[in-house]
Amino acid sequence: MLRIIRTVLVSALLLCSVTPLAAQEQSQGVMRRRGAADRNRQTQQDGSVVTERMQNFYSGDNSSISDADRQWMRVIYRAIDLDKDANAALYFPEEPIAGQENLFRIIMRLLASNTVPAYEYLDGREIFTDQYRIKTRDVLDRFYIPYKEAKGSTEKNPRFDIDENDVPTNEVLSYYVVERWEFDTRHNRLRPTVEAICPVLHRSGDFGGDALKYPMFWVKFSDLRPYLAAQTIFTDDDNNLPTCTYDDFFTLNLYDGEIYKTRNLKNKSMVQLYPDPDSLKRAQDSIQSRLDNFEKKLWVPSREEVIAAREAREALEAGADSTQVEEKVTTKTSNTRSTKRSTKRSTKKENKPKVKKAKEPKQQSSSSSATRSVRRRK
């Protein structure tokens, strides 16, 4: 009888200990299945796994900087020509190869899946509000891009399927970029940030001739960053490994863009302000040099830099060549340490004869004492 009672108690204890573990494993399995389903749904929607934390990380890059920290800002508009070698990474590959896509295919894929909003291109104005948000269907119809509605598309959440051969990647030969050059007191540095990107379509008319440029739409760079950071590219002909991302390409300003407009009171482009090509080129170079030298003018120059600048002014006033002045300035700044060492050595050499002169009176005293002793002997 006692044996029966013991077996019953042991079996009851085993059931009590196994049931929570089974329930825990079952709950963990459900959680794992839910996480995988969410990831699969996100992958099917935009083609890449981008979590909410990743989106908040990239979209909130400048959120910590308030308007009180910003002391200076200038808005620059650049035209990025994809024919230049520095910008070729945005165009190639034309077709998807081994999971790599060019920039326009990524933008169109995100736009077709209703993942990233697009805004109307307004000549001279860029307003990124819901009032100027454009519909994907209107963009596809306007530029004659074939499409069909995707599975699960609704009126509130429209999604489209675009065949890879119908994406006009070979016609998007340039981009417009809006840059914000800001100097904030929190970091004490000047840094350019890309605010928006606009793909430009180059199409010739029915009768041929030069291709006309059609700006398509604006896309905020903060909305694209989580997806651009997941796409690697290679930017060097000598190293074909994809060691860079599209996000690095824009945040590090690796592109080569020509300034075609700056935000001004008249809201005019550079061509309207400077119709002459020579004056336009000088104005563009002047704006770029002021942007490059803005941060240098904020700090107090060193003693060597002041001396080099003064000698350069004196040489220019004397009528010397500019090349000679530049060589003189570089040699002056590079040889500052060597001049300091030479001056120290010269001062040490000058101090040596003073020590010898100090020893001369002792020799005279010894000779005088010797003559006295001779006289005493006499």
pLDDT tens digit sequence for 141-192: 999 999 999 998 998 999 999 999 999 999 999 999 999 999 887 777 788 8
- When pLDDT is averaged across residues 78-85 and rounded to a whole number, the result is 96
Which residues are bridge partners to 74 per DSSP? 181
Three-state helix/strand/coil letters over the chain: CHHHHHHHHHHHHHHHHHHHHHHHHHHHHHHHHHHHHHHHHHHHHHCCCCCHHHHHHHHCCCCCCCCCCEEEEEEEEEEEECCCHHHHHHCCCCCCECCECCHHHHHHHHHHCCCCCCECCECCECCCCHHHECCHHHHHHHCCCCCEECCCCCCCCCCEECCHHHCCCCCEEEEEEEEEEEEECCCCEEEEEEEEEEEEEEEEECCEEEEEEEECCEEEHHHHHHHHCCCEECCCCCCCCCCEEHHHHHHCCCCCEEEEEECCCCCCEHHHHCCCHHHHHHHHHHHHHHHHHHCHHHCCCCHHHHHHHHHHHHHHHHCCCHHHHHHHHHHHHHCHHHHHHHHHHHHHHHHHHHHHHHHHHHHHHHHHHHHHHHHHHC
Residues 6+ apart with CB under 8 A from 237: none
Gyration radius from the chain CA atoms: 37
pLDDT greater than 90 at residue 222: yes
Lowest mean pLDDT among 19-28, 144-153, 209-218: 19-28
Residue 34: pLDDT band by 50, 70, 90 thresholds? very low
The closest of 87, 81, 59, 366 to 200, measured between CA atoms, is 81
What's the burial of 33, exposed, middle or buried (CB within 10 Å: 0-12/13-18/19+)?
exposed
pLDDT greater than 90 at residue 368: no
pLDDT greater than 70 at residue 4: no
pLDDT greater than 90 at residue 131: yes
Residue 302: pLDDT band by 50, 70, 90 thresholds? confident
- When pLDDT is averaged across residues 250-277 and rounded to a whole number, the result is 94
pLDDT at position 32 is: 45
What's the burial of 357, exposed, middle or buried (CB within 10 Å: 0-12/13-18/19+)?
exposed
pLDDT at position 328 is: 56
pLDDT greater than 80 at residue 113: yes
Q: Find the Cα–Cα–Cα–Cα dihedral 304, 305, 311, 315, rounded to 10°.
A: 140
Mean pLDDT, all residues of the chain: 78
The closest of 121, 62, 125 to 263, measured between CA atoms, is 125
Residue 365: pLDDT band by 50, 70, 90 thresholds? very low
Residue 139: pLDDT band by 50, 70, 90 thresholds? very high
Percent of the chain with pLDDT over 70: 66
Residues 26 and 40: their CA atoms lie apart, in Å, by: 21
- When pLDDT is averaged across residues 10-26 and rounded to a whole number, the result is 50
Residue 64: pLDDT band by 50, 70, 90 thresholds? low
pLDDT greater than 50 at residue 230: yes
- When pLDDT is averaged across residues 336-353 and rounded to a whole number, the result is 48
User: Where along the chain do its domains lie?
Assistant: 54-276, 300-336
> How many CB atoms neighbour CB 165 within 10 A?
8
pLDDT greater than 90 at residue 229: yes
Lowest mean pLDDT among 193-197, 278-282, 334-338: 334-338
Tokens 């990831």, located at residue: 39
Q: Can you read off the two tokens belonging to residue 344?
A: 């120290």
